Each structure stands twice: as C-alpha cells, then as structure tokens.
Amino acid sequence: MNILIFGPQASGKGTQAHILAGKLGLFYLSTGDLFRKLSEKDSKVKRVVEKGELPSDELAFSLLKRFIKDEHGSYQNIIFDGFPRNVNQYLMLKRWFYKNKSKIDYAILLDISDEEAIRRLSARRVCSDCKEIFNLITNPSKNPKVCDKCGGELVQREDDKPEAIEKRLSLYRNVTKPLIDVFEKEGVLKKVNGEQPIEDISRELLSFFGKQ
C-alpha cells in the first residue's frame, strides 16, 4: 500500500506520516527533508527553500526517485510527505508507478485553516543537531530552547519566518489545493480534521487502516 499525506504547512503531515510509517510498516519519504539535505551543499537550492519557494518539479522528482531506488528498492509500502506539491508532480509519480506496476492507494488530507497554520508555523522549533521537531504550542519540549531528545539547541527554520510563511501558504492555496479535486475523482481521498490533538488524528487514521 502506498499513501500520500498532504495539507497546509504545519498541518502535522510529518508527525502523522511517521506514526503511520511505524504502525503500518511503511517507508517514510519527505521531499522537504531531501531538499534540506541538498541545501547543505547547494547554495542555490538553499536560497529557494529558505524563501519558502518551490524548486523545480524535475529536481523534486529526481531526488525522490533516487531516494526510493537507493534506500528502499521497491515501489510498494511507501508514505510520501511533501510530494506531490502540484498536479504535475502527481502525474509524474503516477506514470512512474504505473510503469512499475504500482499505484497510489490513498491520499490523506490533513485540513487546517490558514490562521491555525500561521499560529503553528510561528511556534515550530527544530533541533539543530538531531532535527527533531517541536512546537511551542502543540508539542513543546521541557525547555523551549533545548531538545528533549538529544540536548541540542532548538531553532526556528528560515522558512518558518513570517515572509516565507505567507509565500508557502499562498503556494499551498494556488498550487497544491487543486490536488484535492484530482484525488476525489480518483477515489483515493481521505480527509481528516488536522486541528484535533495529535493522538486523536492518529487514532482516526489508524482505525481507517484497521489498526489501533
């Protein structure tokens, strides 16, 4: 089974995708993580990502293909976080999977309002060492400046700063949201209220997949 998880920034995609990956035995793939890694050695990509803009579909897709081939070696049992970001990316993935006798089984939309997205993004902190994600409101660390997991320093991502947030949300509205209709027509859409507590969302999703 292959699952896509999508929704506005800070809707909790990464958190829920990790929970589902663990419980359903899926391979976790985040194109955001792949781009942040690439940014460490490519300053052009770094500038685009930090401004909250999207690098090209071709680059995103080639990073994704390489990661799947190198780290997973199969077209099955994958959960995608952050890909596709638009209809073109979805068609690229669909065609590639079709050629390899696979398909997307479910697309989960974690729905939250713009106001909630802004509130959460402004409060998001990430560990500069182990990359664990916290949120001052929904998932705080004991000390707001220190990572509970490894003791590293918690910092704000460049693209979680106000100007980049506005850019990312408008990209979501204009470019990613049209995917909802496409997924609905294909009968793979599962919509969940992303403003519930983390445990309630994962319980709802796991029960949908017949797990506890």
> Residues in the site for ligand AMP, rule: CB under 6 A?
9, 31-32, 35, 48-49, 52-55, 60, 82-83, 85, 89, 159, 168
Quick check: bond before 84 cis, omega within 30?
yes
CB 147 within 8 A of CB 33: no
CB 173 within 8 A of CB 83: no
Least separation in angstroms between residue 86's CB and ligand AMP is 8
Residue 194 CB coordination number (10 Å): 23
Which residue's CB is nearer to ligand AMP, number 21 or number 49? 49
Q: Which of 65, 64, 63, 45 is nearest to 55 (CA)?
A: 45
Least separation in angstroms between residue 190's CB and ligand AMP is 19
Which residue's CB is nearer to ligand AMP, number 41 or number 142? 41
CB 83 within 8 A of CB 175: no
Total residues belonging to the chain: 212
Which residue's CB is nearer to ligand AMP, number 83 or number 183? 83
Least separation in angstroms between residue 210's CB and ligand AMP is 28
Least separation in angstroms between residue 158's CB and ligand AMP is 10
For ligand AMP, which residue has the nearest CB?
A: 32
Question: Distances in Å between the alpha carbon of 188 and those of 57, 95, 105, 133, 179?
Answer: 22, 16, 6, 29, 11
CB 36 within 8 A of CB 7: no
Helix (H, G, I), strand (E, B) or coil at 111: strand
Least separation in angstroms between residue 107's CB and ligand AMP is 14
Which residue's CB is nearer to ligand AMP, number 2 or number 89? 89
Which residue's CB is nearer to ligand AMP, number 37 or number 103? 37
Question: Distances in Å between the alpha carbon of 187 and those of 55, 78, 184, 205?
Answer: 29, 19, 5, 17
| Cα distance between residue 136 and residue 109, in whole Å | 24
Least separation in angstroms between residue 167's CB and ligand AMP is 8
Which residue's CB is nearer to ligand AMP, number 12 or number 32? 32
The residue type at 90: Y
